[in-house]
Structure 1
Amino acid sequence: MLKSLQIRNYVLIDSLDVEFPEGLIIISGQTGAGKSILLGALSLLLGTKADASVIGDTADNCVVEAVFAIPTSDTVISSVLEENDVDVDGGEITIRRVVNKSGRSRSFINDCPVSIQVLQSISSRLVDIHSQHQTLLLSDKFFQLSMLDHFAGNQSLLEKCSDAYKVYKALEKELEVVSGKLSSLKEERDYTQARWQRLEDAHLCDGEIESLEAEQRQLSNAEEIKENLSGVMALFCPSDPNVEYLPVSSSLKEAQKMLERISSFVPEASSLAERIESARTELEDILEDVSSINSKIELSKERLDSVDERLSLLYDLLRSYTTSTVGELISKRDALSASLLDSSTLETRKSELESEIEVQRQSVERISQLLHESRQKAVGPFSKAITESVHSLEMEHAVFSVELSEVGLSSSGSDSVRFLFSASGSTPLDVAKCASGGELSRLMLCLKAMLAKFMNMPTLVFDEIDTGVSGSVADKMGRMICAMGQNMQVFAITHLPQVAAKGNAHYVVEKEYDVLGKAKTSVRLLEGQDRVMEIARMLSGSSITPAAVENAKVLLSVK
């Protein structure tokens, strides 16, 4: 419910503060007074595009603010506000929109900055503006289907269908992505497989090159190495009996004994003997190590060839894979292996998705079938109810029917709806092609009145929906709008006195000119004689006659 509206510097409105009651609220005024300006300001709060041209001539910005009462049962609005960190206190929200001269705007809910998208997401649950041009909705297939579903009470099924369809489409999207990846991998798989196989067959070992290069150096110089090692061994322990000198170890042993013999006369000789013993032990260890090394050195051309071949393979792999170490080659091999494994994983996922999609498709089809059956049952009663409602607006021969046909799966099931209408009682045709503006206005009002019975409607604004009708028809449309106003807040912007007389409250939009000739628009609540005179003006035009005044009083007395 719209409780109040404040406007500053919006087109011809310098300043406006107005409060609105519940029930049917009438807004009237002469053509050009600014009723559309009032709607434009309200539309700004609902998320329509801002334009710098709406700012008053002498102002830097314009501000539109409204207070709405929201039912605690409306979980959609509550969820949107909660997601955007907006606090709701006392079941009311204050929406404010500020537009500056650059055309940019800022939006607030309860003084918290929000995006235009937030306003748009809750606008349909706050205000439903039905203009004389909105009869275009009658040819909108989504609107037609929505009307039938509300009549049939399909909201729960629609939610289930929408949720199931979202899952279904998400699975299809994932399958598309997985299939795309597989297609790309398939083109590269043979090449990737060959590159991985070459590295796998190499049986790589980290640090292998360094070890092989050291072995290669030994094998390439094995003769020289053995010759020198043998020479060291010969010096330490000559094997030729004709050599005149003793082995080093024997000579040191003899020297040690000599020093020990004189140690009682020369104390220092004892420590020297110990040092010779230590040196002799160390030299024996060195000789043993030299002998061990010498025995391990191979004079093998076959082994050298094998090492050269292995190094050649490794050097070639380093060049081919643009790496500098065997460790990097191993990483490359593992990455290629993971790529091949990923392909296998994707194949498995693709198979799973295909199964899941089939299961989910069947689920959507089951819910769609339930929706179809529910809609099929509702077609007859819905058509009859709308036909009777249209008959009450003096189209006694009118025929309204609904054509239901099956189409592809969607979030709302597998049905398409077409409204058929004939004002003369002949074979009904597509509603968009066979009715005048006045007939469409009456039909749209009947549909809105029907919709209000089956759902909690937001504040309804009828913007000259009675265009093209007059007399007793206008009176009956007024009664229908008034009946809707008994259970909800309804605004009726009208030129018809029969409609205006039925409101719980009546506001007039006026345009005035100051001494400089500048136009200003204002809104005023009419009460008592002022309301009688406005109804009389609507009856007779600019020249109000006594008969028009009396007629106005009669209209107001029988609402």
Structure 2
Amino acid sequence: MLTSLSIKDLAVVAALDLDLRPGFTVLTGETGAGKSILLTALGLALGDRADSGLVRPGAERGEVSLCFTLDDAPSAREWLIGHELAETDEDTCLIRRTISADGRSRAFINGRPATLPNLQALGRHLVEIHGQHAHLNLLQAGEQRALLDRHAGCRELASELKLIFDRWKALSERIDRLQQDVSSRNARQELLQYQVNELEQLEIETLDYRALSEEHELLANLGRVSEIGYTQLKLLYEDEQYSVNGLLARSAQAVGELAQISKDFTESLELLESARIQVKEAAMALRHHLDALDPDPAKFAALEQKLAEVHQLARKHQVRPEDLPGHLEALRTELRSMESGEERLEHLLAEQSDLLAAYDAAARSLSAKRRVAADALETDISRLIHELGMPHGRFAVAFETDSEAPPAPHGRDRIEFLVSANPGLPPRPLSRVASGGELSRISLAIEVASIAQKTTPTLIYDEVDTGIGGGVAEMVGIKLRSLGINRQVLCVTHLPQIAALGHHHLLVEKHAQDGITESTVRPLTMEERTGEIARMLGGLRITVQTLAHAREMLALAH
């Protein structure tokens, strides 16, 4: 329940601190006094779009604060807990919204920053606002269906159905895209297969480009390698007189004689012997490699052909020759992915079928609940509109289910509210037969009929008395008062018949000082209520009879 409303520097309100009570509260005042600013402030605090023009001239910012108790709003408490915005030891919720003169706005829930979607989501658990033209929503098929679902107590089932539909639709769009891409996918798959085959024929998978290049380089320079190699072999070992090995042998022999004279030369001798061994090993390795050289022109030609093909493929695929094996594996991976596309499509089609089956089951269950609720709603609304000044009115729900229709977010039911305002005439769509006053009464009748299904603790009505008066207005007031038994109901009204039936009465007044207009709101005592209702009854001139009539209305109401 909304327990307090504070406004600062918003439009015509400089400062307002208003305490609110449970039950049916009416707000009255002269036309233009500023009654609408209260609803504007509520809307801002609950996530409506901010407008810097609402900030009071000369002020840096406007501010709205709402305080709610949560003992009658368990769903709001759960939402706050789920979003980690609940006060630990408090059963209250404080919402604050500020709007600066430059258009920026900030929102807070229990002192912590909040987004506008958060305000809107929380607000749906706390307050339901019916604007001056809210009854016009009844002309919309979606609103009529939502009202029936609320009356049927199947809003959760309707939400579940929509979730299934959303999944089915997203999956169907994905399948459509896959199926539309079949031709281009097939062309790509053929190209990939050709490229993979081409690379595999050249055995690119086992290609060692570095080794291949080195072998080609060796064969290309075989003559020079042999010439240099055998020359160095002779120089190192095979020239008995002038080879390195021979020179080292003679040197080692001479140093050996020195080592016999003095051990100081032993280390030099050992190094010379080691050098002879290494020279011998180098010569043996050199001979081995030289003997292994194969001046095979056919092999050289094959290597040249292989390298030419490798370079051609590298240019064709726009990669370096040494990267061709990795490129082949990437092509194979893409090809395997495309080959599994058909399997994936089959899997998606099976999933789509399962979702459609789940959708059909939920839609049938929802239709059944709606049909039962439609019969009860027809009876309840017809009875209530009789009480609200339409004694011959009849309310009906046209219900049609097309089981062959494609899935829709709301199911396969077509629902339309019908009304007959005069005897002997068949019910027709609301948009064709109902006047503004009749729509207001039908809307109120639906609210009264659906009150048991409502969980929102605070209901706000802005001039729901449009187009009515006299005894009908009194009956509307009675119904609003009955709503206030189990809910907090606030109603902006111009009709004394409704104002007299409020449990509480707030007066909106406008004052002008130094050329600046300011609106205030204050609760009225019973005597003050008498004067206000007399004003609403009699206009500018209030007589003794008018005051007596106002007292009588209040006495009868209470």
Structure-1-length-normalised TM-score: 0.89
In the TM superposition, 1:219-298 aligns within 5 A as 219-223=219-223, 225-226=225-226, 284-298=280-294
Q: Distance in 1 between matches of 2:442 and 2:430?
A: 10
Q: Distance in 2 between matches of 1:249 and 1:120?
A: 97
Shift of 1:322: 2.7
Gap change, CA 1:257 and 1:200, over 3 Å in 2: closer
Residue aligning to 2:509: 510
Alignment deviations for residues 137-174 of structure 1 (CA, whole Å, 9 cap, x no partner): 11122221122122222234324323333332343344
In the TM superposition, 1:410-489 aligns within 5 A as 410-425=408-423, 426-489=425-488
Q: What is the root-mean-square deviation in Å for CA atoms of aligned residues?
A: 3.3
Q: Which of the residues 403, 409, 417 maps onto 2:407?
A: 409
Alignment deviations for residues 223-272 of structure 1 (CA, whole Å, 9 cap, x no partner): 5544665667778669xxxxxx899899899979998998999789x979
1:95 aligned counterpart, secondary structure: strand
Residue aligning to 1:529: 527
Q: Distance in 2 between matches of 1:5 and 1:189?
A: 67
Residue aligning to 2:346: 351
Q: Which residue identity does 2:293 align to in structure 1?
A: I
Q: Which of the residues 368, 373, 380 maps onto 1:373?
A: 368
Q: Distance in 2 between matches of 1:517 and 1:221?
A: 106
For structure 1, the residue ranges without an aligned partner over 5 or more in a row are: 239-244
Gap change, CA 1:81 and 1:187, over 3 Å in 2: farther
Shift of 1:495: 1.7
Shift of 1:344: 2.4
The answer to whether the 8 Å contact 1:61/1:99 transfers is: yes
Q: Which residue identity does 2:375 align to in structure 1?
A: G
| Rg (Cα) greater in structure | 1
Alignment deviations for residues 401-455 of structure 1 (CA, whole Å, 9 cap, x no partner): 0011235423332212100112113111110121111111111110111121222
Is residue 339 from structure 1 mapped to residue 334 from structure 2 by the alignment? yes
Gap change, CA 1:259 and 1:468, over 3 Å in 2: closer
Gap change, CA 1:128 and 1:259, over 3 Å in 2: closer
Q: Distance in 2 between matches of 1:250 and 1:504?
A: 125
Q: Which residue identity does 1:304 align to in structure 2?
A: F
Q: Distance in 2 between matches of 1:547 and 1:307?
A: 122
Q: Distance in 2 between matches of 1:437 and 1:257?
A: 127
Q: Distance in 1 between matches of 2:181 and 2:190?
A: 15
Q: Distance in 2 between matches of 1:529 and 1:257?
A: 137
Residue aligning to 1:137: 137
Residue aligning to 1:382: 377
Q: Which moved more, 1:472-481 or 1:171-180?
A: 171-180
Q: Distance in 1 between matches of 2:363 and 2:213?
A: 74
The answer to whether the 8 Å contact 1:88/1:110 transfers is: no
Q: Which of the residues 291, 296, 300 maps onto 1:300?
A: 296
Residue aligning to 1:400: 395
Structure-2-length-normalised TM-score: 0.89
Gap change, CA 1:295 and 1:509, over 3 Å in 2: same
The answer to whether the 8 Å contact 1:124/1:458 transfers is: no
Q: Distance in 1 between matches of 2:253 and 2:135?
A: 132
Q: Distance in 2 between matches of 1:281 and 1:187?
A: 67
Shift of 1:288: 3.5
Q: Which residue identity does 1:52 align to in structure 2?
A: S
The answer to whether the 8 Å contact 1:533/1:549 transfers is: yes
Gap change, CA 1:113 and 1:67, over 3 Å in 2: same
Q: Which moved more, 1:438-447 or 1:130-139?
A: 130-139
For structure 2, the residue ranges without an aligned partner over 5 or more in a row are: none
Q: Distance in 2 between matches of 1:253 and 1:385?
A: 124
**Identical columns (%):** 29
Q: Which moved more, 1:328-337 or 1:435-444?
A: 328-337
